Amino acid sequence: MNKNLLYVFPFLVVLAGCAPRIGSNDYSYSGVRQASNAFPCTVVSVRQVNVSSDDNSAGTLLGGVAGGVAGSTIGHGRSANTLGAIGGAAAGMLAGNLIQDSMMKQGGYEYIVRTDNGQTYSVTQGTDTLLAAGQRCMFINGAESRVIPYY
């Protein structure tokens, strides 16, 4: 049974790389070389928030596969192996979903900003840059909006 844990470990390593980076300094490849509007603004308020996953399907799938493989070795005989695989897959799906959910949770900040032309926006982003209420900044409005310090 200990050998079966070796099958599960690679799946957990894959899941570890699933958490997206959500900071103001993080760009996806699709966001590079894309034009966005930039507006000078002032931070009106800041609050700490929790960011969680919208989709744990990868963890559920990988956990189900790993659990099914591990569970299929339980017992002796065809029906015992089949029942073990089904039970292992169900338990693995639940565990994979919970593991991915816990790995995807991140802290963030929600910024309420007011642009110089009077528009008010809310932007939630990671914790790599903390801005304070009253601070001058730039609101970058595009496919992935962000608030950055005004330099």
What does each of the 151 residues of the chain score in pLDDT, given as a tens digit? 445 555 555 655 555 555 666 576 666 666 677 788 999 999 999 999 877 766 657 666 777 777 777 777 777 777 777 777 777 778 777 777 677 666 667 788 999 999 999 999 999 998 888 999 999 999 999 888 899 998 7
Task: Give the tokens for residue 79.
Answer: 């029906």
Measured CA to CA, the distance from residue 19 to residue 103 in angstroms comes to: 7
Question: Hunting for tokens 């609101």 — which residue is that?
Answer: 139
What 3-state DSSP class applies to 115?
strand
Per-residue confidence (pLDDT) for residue 115, from 0 to 100: 97
User: CATH number of the domain at 35-52+106-151, please?
Assistant: 2.40.50.590
* Domain ranges within the chain, ordered by starting residue: 1-21+53-104, 35-52+106-151
Token couple for 57: 């399907």
Model pTM score? 0.60
- DSSP alpha helix (H) spans, 2-119: 2-16, 57-71, 78-104
Tokens standing for 82?
């089949």
CB 119 within 8 A of CB 15: no
Residue-level pLDDT at 101: 64
The confidence score (pLDDT) of residue 2 equals 47
Whole-number Å distance between alpha carbons of 134 and 113: 9
Are 102 and 128 contacting, i.e. CB atoms less than 8 angstroms apart?
Answer: no
Contact status, residue 134 vs residue 42, Cβ threshold 8 Å: yes
**Contact by Cβ (8 Å): 122, 144:** no
Contacts of 132 (CB under 8 A, 6+ apart): 43, 46
pLDDT of amino acid 121 = 96
